[in-house]
A and B are shown apart, each in its own frame.
Chain A
């Protein structure tokens, strides 16, 4: 297993290159790049600029674990507005292109956001339709689309069996699940999600969750590894059970208020313990 963390964690005062150096010093092997988040990787970033970023990553002694995007919450493949749906399609295609440039074989998408106005059944049908088409594009590029389980925020695909059925309906070897063990909250157990999805897992996001806090205003339910309610021993055993040996990628939503680089080091140390099973 290899460790990675998103470029979104880079403290604001650091450049891209300085952020990469921080990750290397903290012991990560890879970086997750977020399209649409930090200024160095936007929809307007050219292929040549992406190649420059990749050179910097290689020079820092790192790999790209995967390409994610921060755009799906505003432009989703399930949107009713065709313009937004098309925009979502375009940024996912751009992720696939970027993944090829960065020599990685996985991207992350958030497929489906159920709202009071856009009901579940509509979201489900549009996601299936779009992911079938995107799966064909991804297959030609040899890049896997990992559909993230953002259960509570999406109000969509809330159980592991439904997610499994959803992937059955898409029926593409190029569309799987980017499993976030922190996103399951009090609707289930991360280790059961790992067992049920098994070989369909493209990547694993790690963070911890305080299941009983609930979300109120700006209060986050998320916290650092080992501080929350996830059963990390069970999660580690489940990874072994399904022979998961790929990237684990930290996604820390709640940030240190001071000494933000320290969170990068602390998370790396916790991930090392997780991988080693020293829990």
Chain B
């Protein structure tokens, strides 16, 4: 099972949840945006179906190489890892190390975050597992991925993707979904539930 030993103390503030038939871990970082997003995922998990073990890293900015390596071992054994970008309101350069970690450990190639308008509503489009338009804010993080891996796009640029690793996989969300989940946004809930269901029951799996 997941060890939280090397993570900041605040990261363990949400208990492990037994959801449907699988274990789910939400591992927030000790900053308000991550804690808020974590509560959004926790709310979603109250009603979602998850059939494979799952780790959720909400609004993450500080993923260390050691933690990522440990998650990779679990993913190879069949866990799924959902990594949500915490680019919104991050300090310049804060995400650089994380980008390097994600590339080295999971082969995920993420780009510099794109700032989005704070004066008007901004939306991105999920194409998979179902077509849904959701709000985003602050910043979105593009990801280099194949068409088969792409989950969502913003202005034609992929900003969410999945990747299979061993018997499990990684889902990278370049935009924050958890805030919308906490606010009970209908479309955010729909895509969140669909993502959890699909990534763990095989719909997103290779072949």
Q: List 10 A-B contacts (CB under 8 A).
A: A80-B89, A80-B138, A116-B121, A117-B117, A117-B120, A117-B122, A118-B137, A119-B135, A125-B182, A125-B183
Pick the residue among A80, A86, A124, A125 that contacts B88 (CB under 8 A): A80
Judge whether A218 is part of the interface by a CB distance below 8 angstroms: no
Are A119 and B33 in contact (CB-based, < 8 A)?
no
Give Cα A119 to B179, complex, Å. Answer: 11
Give Cα A65 to B32, complex, Å. Answer: 34
Which residues of B have CB within 8 Å of A85? 32
Judge whether A278 is part of the interface by a CB distance below 8 angstroms: no
Which residues of A56-105 have CB atoms within 8 Å of chain B's CB atoms?
Answer: 80-83, 85-86
Judge whether B3 is part of the interface by a CB distance below 8 angstroms: no
Which residues of A have CB within 8 Å of B184? 121, 125
Pick the residue among A119, A121, A124, A125 that contacts B121 (CB under 8 A): A119
Judge whether A47 is part of the interface by a CB distance below 8 angstroms: no
With A82-B89, A124-B183 known as contacts, the answer to whether A117 contacts B137 (CB < 8 A) is yes
Task: State how many angstroms separate the Cβ of A92 from the closest Cβ of chain B.
Answer: 16
Task: State how many angstroms separate the Cβ of B194 from the closest Cβ of chain A.
Answer: 19
Interface string of B97-116 (1 = CB under 8 A from A): 00000000000000000000
Pick the residue among B31, B89, B119 that contacts A116 (CB under 8 A): B119
Are A82 and B185 in contact (CB-based, < 8 A)?
no
Which residues of B have CB within 8 Å of A81? 89
Are A122 and B183 in contact (CB-based, < 8 A)?
yes
Residue of B whose beta carbon sits closest to that of A124: B183
Are A117 and B119 in contact (CB-based, < 8 A)?
yes
Interface string of A210-230 (1 = CB under 8 A from B): 000000000000000000000
Give Cα A85 to B32, complex, Å. Answer: 9
Where chain B touches its partner, the secondary structure class is loop
Interface size grouping (class) on chain B: 20 to 34
Please count the residue pairs between chain A and chain B whose beta carbons lie under 8 angstroms apart in the complex: 41
Interface residues of B, Cβ cutoff 8 Å to A: 31-33, 36, 88-89, 117-122, 135, 137-138, 179-180, 182-185
Residue of B whose beta carbon sits closest to that of A122: B183
Are A121 and B185 in contact (CB-based, < 8 A)?
yes
Residue of B whose beta carbon sits closest to that of A81: B89
Which residues of A have CB within 8 Å of B180? 122
Are B183 and A83 in contact (CB-based, < 8 A)?
no
Give Cα A113 to B119, complex, Å. Answer: 13
Pick the residue among A83, A118, A124, A126 that contacts B89 (CB under 8 A): A83
Instruction: Report the 6 A-B pairs with minimum CB-CB distance, sorted nearest first.
Output: A121-B183, A82-B32, A122-B183, A125-B183, A116-B120, A81-B89
Task: State how many angstroms separate the Cβ of B200 from the closest Cβ of chain A.
Answer: 26
Which residues of A have CB within 8 Å of B119? 116-117
Which residues of A129-148 have CB atoms within 8 Å of chain B's CB atoms?
Answer: none
Task: State how many angstroms separate the Cβ of B53 from the closest Cβ of chain A.
Answer: 28
Residue of A whose beta carbon sits closest to that of B35: A82
* 11 new A-B contacts at CB < 8 Å, known A121-B183, A121-B185: A80-B179, A81-B89, A82-B89, A83-B89, A116-B120, A117-B118, A117-B119, A119-B121, A122-B180, A122-B182, A124-B183
Task: State how many angstroms separate the Cβ of B180 from the closest Cβ of chain A.
Answer: 8
Task: State how many angstroms separate the Cβ of B61 from the closest Cβ of chain A.
Answer: 12
